[in-house]
Amino acid sequence: MSILTSSDRVAGAASVGRTKRLRPSYWPFVVPALIVVIGVIVFPWVFTLWMSAMEWRIGEEQRFVGLQNYARLFTDVRFLEAMLHTVVYTALSVLAPLVLGTAAALAFNTKLPARGLLRGIFVMPMMATPVAIALVWTMMFHPQLGVLNYLLSLVGIGPLQWVYHPSTVILSLVLVETWQWTPLVMLIVLGGLAALPTEPYESAQIDGATAWQRFRYLTLPMIKPFLMVAVIIRTIDALKSFDILYTITQGGPGTASETINLYLYSVAFTYYDIGYGSAIAVVFFVLIIMLSLILLYLRQRSAWNTGDGQ
Amino acid sequence: MSRPLRKLLDKAGMAVCVLLLVSPALLFFLWMLSLSLKFEIDNGAYPPILIPDRFAWKNYTTIFEGNSFLLYFWNSLIVTGAATLFALVVGVPAGYGIARMKAHKSAVVIMIARMTPGLSFLIPLFLLFQWLGLLGTLWPQIIIHLVVTVPIVIWIMIGYFETTPMELEEAAMVDGATRWQIFAKVALPIAKPGIVVAFILSVIFSWNNFVFGIVLASRETRTLPVAVYNMLSFEQVSWGPLAAAALVVTLPVLILTVAAQRQIVAGLTAGAVKGG
């Protein structure tokens, strides 16, 4: 809230000094949305922070415990394991779509017949209802009846246990996440490719550069800012991933695929430990914001670097 | 090699490439359709059957018979419709105001809201709804879906109003039109494509939302994603009807995606938003 009001005041003050008549106050346009945002977004943030300092279980007396809930996190093995799962899951779910999405964008960046329809089909996975596709993936992962093990048997691999074994469950879930979100990376990179100048490629052609050299030394540096955007968005979304994980494994087998988000859900809505759940929510929130800021900073730097280099 | 032949080969290579790219999505949804149209025997067959000898159309009729599916469809329609309409009513003017005041920093709140996991909104709002005695009605879900829809609409509309030309509005202002007249008569008509993008994305992300429903919905107030999930966990359902239900839930979104792919791509790459 403070960010919103202070920056608006700055903007408002500046406009009053300059062109009062031409730039009247637009506050009335913003107020209804402001009320909604305060009610459903800012209030929950503040309230969560307050609850995280309480011993608060549904149906019991609440009492103030200060930072005790946060201290508990450091000795909670299940939380620390969830943290590890989240890091592994997120890293893979950023990397795989990034590589595949960039490759897809390069292929899509040519004139194709029926490009619109193809693009429509290609983006379907990320727009489809996650629960619905998760159900179908669950059936496909089935060790005996699933189609995936059949396909693997055709090339002489398997059978795998997929999401039914602790050692393969996270990789299997990353496969789903990659299938779902590679299109988004492609769209972002495609935006970058559309803005590329043609001259460097013409001179590279004259110099006899190979396709790989053109990609490595021309395309890649120039689309780097777009790749960074893709990394940021992918990181945030992979960290927050819930529907797919909850529907397919619920964190199982055991707790082998339990991420922070899933653990948070269990603590808050299975054990109804609201205070501790809120503390996890706060830590999770801070983690996401910090990572985003770091990535934004890196993006800024990479943008400058490519700017200097040209 | 002759030039035309080479060109043809290039084209063929490209076609193979593209086919390879689209096939994960295409094959998946084909398999989904196949699962939904097979009898249990065919779904359990090894090796798997893609196109069965006889189609199990009854998979689709059974989901509408036993499971109050129509009620859940209606719930989804109400929640998504109300949350989207309300978001447009407050979000479009807000996007306009923020763009015209050049209060870009206020958009930071919207960005952070998008980064926040849906669950962290859920705990406090759940307690609030409980305290207000709203649980058991559709209101909690309509209200909490605003967490998804309002930021999408504001975000897209800020971006859109920033690109619309100011000259017309300034001319109208010189003519003595009020701010609201300018907004309604000049800015809004120009912004129609942007509103369409905001509407489509808001509808899709609200329709798809699952996490709010599993906590806030009771038996009568389930939305479709929650209803389908419950089919999996609480009833001994065979694969055919389950796949059919999953397809019915996501079909409106899939149709919208293919029909409006241009707007969706524009909206997603402009703000790169995703709800939930």
Domain containing B128 equals 66-271
Enter the ipTM: 0.89
In chain B, whose CA is at the least distance from the CA of A292? Answer: B115
| Beta carbons within 8 Å of A241's beta carbon, 6+ residues apart | A89, A93, A177, A259, A261
Interface test with A, best of B16, B88, B109, B262 (most A CBs within 10 A): B109
CA distance B61 to B63: 6
Q: Which residues of B92-128 are buried (b: 16+ CB within 10 A; e: fewer)?
A: bbbbbbbbbbebeebbebbbbbbbbbbbbbbbbbbbb
Neighbours of B268 (CB within 10 A): 23
Residue B15 forms part of a structural domain: no
Lowest mean pLDDT among A21-25, B6-10, B17-21, B175-179: A21-25
Nearest to B128 by CA among A263, A31, A46: A46
In chain B, whose CA is at the least distance from the CA of A226? Answer: B269
Nearest to A234 by CA among A89, A98, A126: A98
Lowest mean pLDDT among A24-28, A79-83, A262-266, A271-275: A24-28
Residue B12 forms part of a structural domain: no
Q: Which residues of A touch B103 (CB under 8 A)?
A: 7-8, 11-12
CA distance A77 to B272: 36
- Cβ contact (<8 Å) for B204 and A187? no
A79 at interface of B, judged by CB pairs closer than 8 A: no
Element holding A101 (H helix, E strand): helix A77-108
CATH at residue B156: 1.10.3720.10
Query: B30 pLDDT exceeds 90?
Result: yes
Domains of chain A and any CATH numbers: 2-51 (no CATH), 70-309 (1.10.3720.10)
Q: How far A167 CA sits from the closest chain B CA (Å)?
A: 24
Which of A22, A36, A48 is opposite residue B90, by nearest beta carbon? Answer: A36
In chain A, whose CA is at the least distance from the CA of B252? Answer: A128
Question: How confident is the model over A250-295, as pLDDT tens digits?
Answer: 988 999 999 999 999 999 999 999 999 999 999 999 999 898 888 8
Interface test with A, best of B11, B27, B101 (most A CBs within 10 A): B101
CA distance B270 to B198: 11
Tokens, residue B240: 């055919």
Residue B152 forms part of a structural domain: yes
CA distance A91 to B165: 42
**What are residue A64's phi and psi, to 5 degrees?**
-75, 130
Q: Which residues of A touch B232 (CB under 8 A)?
A: 135, 138, 247
Element holding A55 (H helix, E strand): strand A54-55
pTM over cut 0.90:
no
| Beta carbons within 8 Å of B28's beta carbon, 6+ residues apart | A125, A133, A136, A179
Lowest mean pLDDT among A52-61, A103-112, A169-178, A267-276: A103-112
Residue B180 forms part of a structural domain: yes
Residue B225 forms part of a structural domain: yes
| Beta carbons within 8 Å of A207's beta carbon, 6+ residues apart | none
- Cβ contact (<8 Å) for B119 and A265? yes
Q: Which residues of B touch A27 (CB under 8 A)?
A: 97
Question: How confident is the model over B143-197, as pLDDT tens digits?
Answer: 999 999 999 999 899 888 988 888 888 888 888 888 889 999 999 998 998 999 9
- Cβ contact (<8 Å) for A131 and B183? no
Residue B9 forms part of a structural domain: no
Q: Which residues of A touch B100 (CB under 8 A)?
A: 23, 26, 29
**What are residue B178's phi and psi, to 5 degrees?**
-80, 165
Total domains present in chain B: 1
Residue B20 forms part of a structural domain: no
Length of chain A equals 310
3-state helix, strand, coil in chain B (%, to 5): 80, 0, 20
Residue B38 forms part of a structural domain: no
3-state secondary structure of B135: strand
